[in-house]
Homo-oligomer: A and B are copies of this chain.
Amino acid sequence: MPGVRAVRFSLPADLAYLEVARRFLAVLGDKSGLSPSEVHDIQLVVTEAMTNVIEHGYGPRVDDGAAVDLQFEVTDDLLVLLLCDTAPEAFDGAGPEVDLERYRAERKVGGLGLHLMRRLFDEVGFMRDEAGVNTVRLVRQVRRQS
């Protein structure tokens, strides 16, 4: 079965590139023999993580050269996604669990993105290295097209 050796891409830290990320992921998922539903899950999780990096990590005063780097790798049975950015804000992934009741009562409270990431991936890790690079690491078992 086909795998994909590590492919990296770097997109401007701009919500207008969420769609480009999803298109790229569709190409890579297809090349890796992933099912359309698996490709969708990857697109969803990357959309959420990238949105967070842009909205919360870089924030509104992001400079023009800011980027989000993605790495996509499929081995025999493991899908590994890395998202890296150099946003000043560190984030450790901590936060309250999403509360459906609160969602009904209040309007537009957050927490859905992280919830989706944790729901869909076995491993969701947040790191920051000494050089100021933030990495979100998402890992899950591959479910292939039958």
Q: Which residues of A contact B (CB under 8 A)?
A: 5-12, 14, 17, 19-20, 23-24, 27-28, 31, 64
Contacts and interface: CB of A to CB of B under 8 A. Distances in A.
Given A19-B31, A24-B24, A31-B19, A10 B9 contact: yes
A11 to B, nearest CB: 6
Nearest to A70: B9
Contact of A8 (B9, B17, B23, B31): B9
Q: Is the interface of A mostly helix, strand, loop or mixed?
A: mixed
Number of identical monomers bound together in the oligomeric complex: 2
A6 B31 CA distance: 24
A27 B20 contact: yes
A11 B20 contact: no
Contacts of A5: 12, 14, 64
A66 to B, nearest CB: 10
Contacts of A64: 5
